[in-house]
């Protein structure tokens, strides 16, 4: 069997290639992709060749929902026709590695790499929004780990998907969330949707933050990893507050922050990696019940049946222009 896949052959290059799938084994399921979504932070780091463990050529991505077409004789959890979430798969081209391998039309892989979504086909909006469950789950993990509570004030560095989902989740807990970003187009886009977003380039930023939180924010949540900005925001955390680090810090020399400021304020520093089972369950429920609003964050949709459309999505990721936030590929015909 052959299938089409997005491949990064080397840093800062992307193309569509045909991969050869092996015959399914007794523990395997064959999954045809319905929707995959770009994870902007992780996949950009992979594209740049800076993600931990990254090698080339590779198939990127971990946001993927598909339908089970076949199952091996040892598979009892899934049935043919089940809708599942997962990117676990393998192919015969040994030189091409998997950086989770979501962006491919068909896969053969162990059933343990998948999660059950539904026994009947959800509508397209639900498929699109549920595709972002892992990324939104990172936000959920952060809010759980920081123990965000009602009446707290949370300053979130970065208006990307993780930051915006965190702002929504903080709001659901009764906290006040303020987003901080640099991109004027993103600030305008999110402000129109009702978020409070401040610009890092605002000459009066420090004054505005002090007006919002005179005694300091209870939590500063970093989703960007820009050390100078994080250092600046440390000054706006209250004594005994929390610094939550959820960015990716692969440029070690550029990610050092001022430990003296952390010590002086006696801050608690919390970090997370990935999500937990409770984050998966809570996030999928919140998306399905529209408590977590993902659809307004999807700015681009592409028909993956045409190679040129897959490449357009990665050109947007590569250049950042025109403005984009959530991007999904429709693989189903």
- DSSP states along 87-104: -----S-TTSEEEB--SB
User: Mind giving me the DSSP string for 282-330?
Assistant: HHHHHHHTTSS--GGGEEEEEETTSHHHHHHHHHHHHH--S--SEEEEE
Q: Could you tell me if 194 and 267 lie in one domain?
A: yes
- Is 87 among the domain residues? yes
Give dist(CA 220, CA 234) in Å, integer. 8
- Is 288 among the domain residues? no
Residue 333: pLDDT above 70? Answer: no
b (16+ CB within 10 A) / e for 16-31: bbebebeebeeebbbb
Percentage, residues of the chain above pLDDT 90: 95
**Mean of pLDDT values over 5-14:** 98
**Mean of pLDDT values over 62-82:** 97
Q: Could you tell me if 214 and 151 lie in one domain?
A: yes
Q: Could you tell me if 216 and 182 lie in one domain?
A: yes
Q: Could you tell me if 57 and 122 lie in one domain?
A: yes
Q: Could you tell me if 308 and 240 lie in one domain?
A: no
Domain span at residue 206 reads 135-271
Token reading at 192: 């129109």
**Mean of pLDDT values over 306-317:** 97
- Is 104 among the domain residues? yes
Give dist(CA 190, CA 197) in Å, integer. 7
Contact residues for 170 (Cβ-Cβ < 8 A; gap 6+):
143, 148, 152, 154, 156, 176, 177
Q: Could you tell me if 79 and 193 lie in one domain?
A: no
Q: Could you tell me if 104 and 152 lie in one domain?
A: no
Determine phi and psi for 183, rounding to 5 degrees: -75, 115
Q: Could you tell me if 170 and 93 lie in one domain?
A: no
Q: Could you tell me if 122 and 147 lie in one domain?
A: no
Note whether 35 and 131 are within 8 A (CB): yes
| Neighbour-count burial of 219, counting CB atoms closer than 10 A to its CB (0-12 exposed, 13-18 middle, 19+ buried) | buried
Q: Could you tell me if 143 and 261 lie in one domain?
A: yes
Q: Could you tell me if 45 and 152 lie in one domain?
A: no
- Is 277 among the domain residues? no
b (16+ CB within 10 A) / e for 186-199: bbebbeeeebebbb
* Helix and strand numbers, DSSP H then E, in the chain: 10, 17
Tally of structural domains, the chain? 2
- Is 75 among the domain residues? yes
Output the domain CATH number for residue 105: 3.90.180.10
Answer with the residue of higher pLDDT: 251 or 105: 105
- Is 289 among the domain residues? no
Could you report the per-residue pLDDT of 21-38, keeping only the tens digit for each?
A: 999 999 999 999 999 999
Q: Could you tell me if 158 and 252 lie in one domain?
A: yes
Residue ranges in 179-258 assigned as alpha helix (H):
184-192, 205-212, 227-234
Q: Does residue 66 have a cis peptide bond before it, meaning omega lies within 30 degrees of 0?
A: no
Output the domain CATH number for residue 149: 3.40.50.720
Per-residue confidence (pLDDT) for residue 157, from 0 to 100: 98
- Is 215 among the domain residues? yes
> For residue 70, how many C-alpha atoms fall within 13 Å in the half-sphere facing its CB?
13
Residue 256: pLDDT above 90? Answer: no
Give dist(CA 167, CA 58) in Å, integer. 33
- Is 213 among the domain residues? yes
Percentage, residues of the chain above pLDDT 70: 100
């Amino acid at each position: 069997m052959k299938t089409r896949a997005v491949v990064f052959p080397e840093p800062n290059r992307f193309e569509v290639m045909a991969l050869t799938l092996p015959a399914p084994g007794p523990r395997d399921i064959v999954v045809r992709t319905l929707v995959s979504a770009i994870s902007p932070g992780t996949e950009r780091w992979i594209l740049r060749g800076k993600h931990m463990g990254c090698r080339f050529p590779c198939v990127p991505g971990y946001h993927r929902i598909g339908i089970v077409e076949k199952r091996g004789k040892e598979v009892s959890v899934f049935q043919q026709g089940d809708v599942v979430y997962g990117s676990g798969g393998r192919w015969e081209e040994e030189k091409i590695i998997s950086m989770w391998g979501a962006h491919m039309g068909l896969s053969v892989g162990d059933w343990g790499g998948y999660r059950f979504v539904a026994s009947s086909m959800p509508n397209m909006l639900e498929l699109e929004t549920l595709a972002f469950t892992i990324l939104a789950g990172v936000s959920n993990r952060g809010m759980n780990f920081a123990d965000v509570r009602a009446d707290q004030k949370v300053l979130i560095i970065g208006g990307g998907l993780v930051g915006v989902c965190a702002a929504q989740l903080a709001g659901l807990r009764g906290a006040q969330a303020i987003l901080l970003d640099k991109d004027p187009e993103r600030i305008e886009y999110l402000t129109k949707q009702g978020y409070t977003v401040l610009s890092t380039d605002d000459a009066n930023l420090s004054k505005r933050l002090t007006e919002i939180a005179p005694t300091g924010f209870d939590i500063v949540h970093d989703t960007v990893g820009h050390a100078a900005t994080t250092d600046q925001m440390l000054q706006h955390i209250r004594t005994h507050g929390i610094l939550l680090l959820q960015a990716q810090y692969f440029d070690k020399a550029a990610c050092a922050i001022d430990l003296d400021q952390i010590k002086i304020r006696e801050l608690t520093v919390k970090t997370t990696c990935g999500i937990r089972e409770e984050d998966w369950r809570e996030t999928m429920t919140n998306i399905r019940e529209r408590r977590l609003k993902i659809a307004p964050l999807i700015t681009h949709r592409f028909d993956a049946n045409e190679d040129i459309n897959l490449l357009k999505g990665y050109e947007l990721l590569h250049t950042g222009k025109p403005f984009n936030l959530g991007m999904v590929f429709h693989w189903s015909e």
